[in-house]
Amino acid sequence: TSNGLTINLLSKEVFFNEEEVVLTKKEFDLLLFLIGNKNRVVSKNALAEHLSGDMADMLDNQDFVYAHIKNLKGKLYKAGHNNDSIKTIYGVGYKWIE
């Protein structure tokens, strides 16, 4: 549980105030990675590597990280979660704040 979020690792489900937040596999992995590194800045490169594994080296563009962050923030916000948990650290990466 984090900031009112409940994450079921077995079923890969996320709930906010007992309401399910439907996430894609990438969004779920991203959420777990950010929460697992809470209060630490995670670089865009580290997120790209985490989401795409060995393929990250072959990607010229990491805009897909921004897209997943945007979608994740939008879904959390729509569920009523405070959108300020995921902070953008410009030029560096992202940070989950509790």
Return the pLDDT at 1: 55
Return the pLDDT at 54: 62
The whole-number mean pLDDT for each consecutive block of 10 residues of the chain, a chain of 98 residues, reads 82 92 95 94 90 64 85 91 85 90
Question: Do you know the residue count of the chain?
Answer: 98
Check if the beta carbon of residue 12 is closer than 8 Å to that of residue 28: yes
Tokens 């030029």, residue located? 91
Return the pLDDT at 51: 84
Round to whole Å and give the CA distance between 48 and 60.
Answer: 11
For the chain, strand residue ranges (E) read 5-8, 13-16, 19-21, 42-43, 86-89, 93-96
Topology of domain 23-96, per CATH?
Answer: Arc Repressor Mutant, subunit A (1.10.10)
Domain locations along the chain: 23-96
